[in-house]
Structure 1
Amino acid sequence: MQAILYARVSTNEQTVAHQETQARAAGFAIDAVVADEGVSGVSTALKDRPQGRRLFDMLRRGDVLVVRWVDRLGRNYADVTDTIREFMRRGVIIRTVINGMVFDGATSDPMQQAVRDALIGFMAATAQSQAEATKEAQKAGIEHAKSLDEKYLGRKPSYNREQFDAVVDALGRGEAVQSVAKATGISRGTIYRIRDNRAEAEAALARWAA
C-alpha cells in the first residue's frame, strides 16, 4: 500500500512544497508526490492534466490518495464526484488534509454509504461554487483594470523609444543628468528613474508600445 499526495497549483496559488508540508504536518506519511503546476482547476479535468492522468495508472486497490481538498480532483461538481467515485470503485481510499475527511468505497453499510455519498456531493458542490466565485472575482478585477488603461498598464512613459535610447547613451558616456535633460527635453526626475531602474523604464515602453 502506498500514499500518494496529489497537488495542483496555478501560477498564483500556494506551492507544491507548501501543500506537501501541510500534509506531513497533518500526520500523513507520503510515499510520492504527483503535481500539476500552472494548471487551472476550473477548466481542466483531472484526467486531462499531464500528471493527473498518472494517478489512474499509479493507484492500486488499498492505496491512499491524499489531497489538500476535494477541489484538487476536478473542475466542477460532476467532475469531482465522478472522480471520487471512480477511485473508490477501484478500491483507492481518498483522504483530505483539510478536515481529515476519508472516502472509502469498501464500506457495505447502507447508512454509511448514504452519509458518505451525501458528503461527497456537498463538498463537491461547495468546491465548485468557491471556484466559480473566485473566477468571477478575478474576471471582474481584470475587466475593471482594463477599463482604466493607466491603472492596468501603469503610468504612460513621458518619453519615446528614441528619447530613451538617447538618455541611456548619454548617461553611458558619463554626461550629467541636467545636461541630458536639456538635450532630450525630458525632466530630470525621469532621467533619474531611467538611470536607477533601466529595466522597468524599458518595460514601460514595451507595455505601451511606445
Structure 2
Amino acid sequence: MQTVLYARVSTTDQTAAHQRTQAEAAGFKIDHVVTDEGVSGVATVLADRPQGRRLFDMLRQGDVLVVRWVDRLGRNYQDVTETIREFMRRGVIVRTVINGMTFDGATTDPVQMAVRDALIGFMAATAQAQAEAIKEAQKAGIEHAKGREDAYLGRKPSYTRDQFVEVVDRLNSGEAVQAVAKATGISRGTVYRIRDNRAEAEAALARWAAYGNDGGVLGQIPV
C-alpha cells in the first residue's frame, strides 16, 4: 500500500511543495507526489491531465490518495464526483488535508454511504462555484482595465495565492489571528481582512492576476 499526494498548481504563485508541506504537517506520510503544473481544474478533467492520467495507472486497492482539497482534483462538479467514485470502486481511499475528509468505498452501511455521497456532491459543487466566482472576478478585472491606463482595481494584494490558502487553512483550524500572521509573514490587518471577507480577498487576487503585475491586461488564468 502507498500514500500518494496529488498536487495541482494552476498559477505561478502556487507551489506543489507548499501542498506537500501542508499534508505532512497534517500527519500524512507521503510516499509519492504527483504534480500537474499550470493546468486548469475547470477546462481539463483529471484523466486528461498528464500526471492525472498517471494516478489511474499507479493507484491500487488499499492505496491512499491525498489532496489538499477536492478542488485539486478538479473544479467541475461532474468530473470530481465521478473521479472520487471511480477511485472508491477501485478500492482507493481518498483523503483531504483540509477538513480531514475521508472517502472510502469499503463502507456498506446505507446511512454512512448516503452521508459520504452527499459530502462528495457538496464539496464538488463548492469547488465549481468557487471557480466560477474567481473567473467572474478575473473577467471584471480585464474589462475594467482594457484601454484604461488609470484603471483602478482596488488595493493590490500584499499576499500570494499560496499565502491566502495558508491563512484560510489556519483560520479554519481555529488558529488565532496573531498566530496566523506570525506563521505566514502577513500583517494582522491583512489576516483580519481575509478572515472577515474571504470572497473579496480572493477576488482581489483574481483581478490583479487578470490585469498583470506589470500593468498589462492578461487573459484569464486557470483555476
TM > 0.5 between the two?
yes
Unpaired runs of 5+ residues, structure 1, are: 153-203
Aligned CA distance change for structure 1 residues 45 and 13 (closer, same or farther; 3 Å): farther
Partner of 1:107 in structure 2? 107
- Residues 74 and 127 in structure 2, CA contact (< 8 A), matched pair in contact too: no
Partner of 2:42 in structure 1? 42
In structure 2, C-alpha distance between the alignment counterparts of 1:39 and 1:141, rounded to whole Å:
21
Letter of the 2:28 counterpart: F
Letter of the 1:65 counterpart: L
Stretch moving more, 106-115 or 138-147: 138-147
Task: Give, in angstroms, the shift of residue 144 of structure 1.
Answer: 1.1
**SS of corresponding position for 1:65:** strand
Partner of 2:15 in structure 1? 15
Instruction: State whether structure 2 residue 142 is matched by structure 1 residue 142.
Output: yes
Unpaired runs of 5+ residues, structure 2, are: 153-213, 218-223
Task: Give, in angstroms, the shift of residue 148 of structure 1.
Answer: 1.0
Partner of 1:72 in structure 2? 72
In structure 1, C-alpha distance between the alignment counterparts of 2:42 and 2:148, rounded to whole Å:
27
Letter of the 2:71 counterpart: D
Task: Give, in angstroms, the shift of residue 145 of structure 1.
Answer: 1.0
Letter of the 1:79 counterpart: D
**SS of corresponding position for 1:51:** helix
Letter of the 1:125 counterpart: A
Deviations 1:47-69 (A, max 9, x none): 11111110000000000000000
- Residues 144 and 151 in structure 2, CA contact (< 8 A), matched pair in contact too: no
Letter of the 2:146 counterpart: K
Partner of 2:132 in structure 1? 132
Deviations 1:154-190 (A, max 9, x none): xxxxxxxxxxxxxxxxxxxxxxxxxxxxxxxxxxxxx
Task: Give, in angstroms, the shift of residue 151 of structure 1.
Answer: 4.9
Task: Give, in angstroms, the shift of residue 11 of structure 1.
Answer: 2.0
Letter of the 1:72 counterpart: R
- Residues 44 and 75 in structure 1, CA contact (< 8 A), matched pair in contact too: no
Letter of the 1:3 counterpart: T
How many pairs does the alignment contain?
154
Q: Larger Cα Rg: Structure 1 or Structure 2?
A: 1
In structure 1, C-alpha distance between the alignment counterparts of 2:95 and 2:7, rounded to whole Å:
13
- Residues 61 and 92 in structure 1, CA contact (< 8 A), matched pair in contact too: yes
Letter of the 1:100 counterpart: G
TM, length-normalised to structure 1 = 0.70
Partner of 1:61 in structure 2? 61
Letter of the 2:38 counterpart: G
Task: Give, in angstroms, the shift of residue 147 of structure 1.
Answer: 3.6
Partner of 1:187 in structure 2? none
TM, length-normalised to structure 2 = 0.66
Instruction: State whether structure 2 residue 93 is matched by structure 1 residue 93.
Output: yes
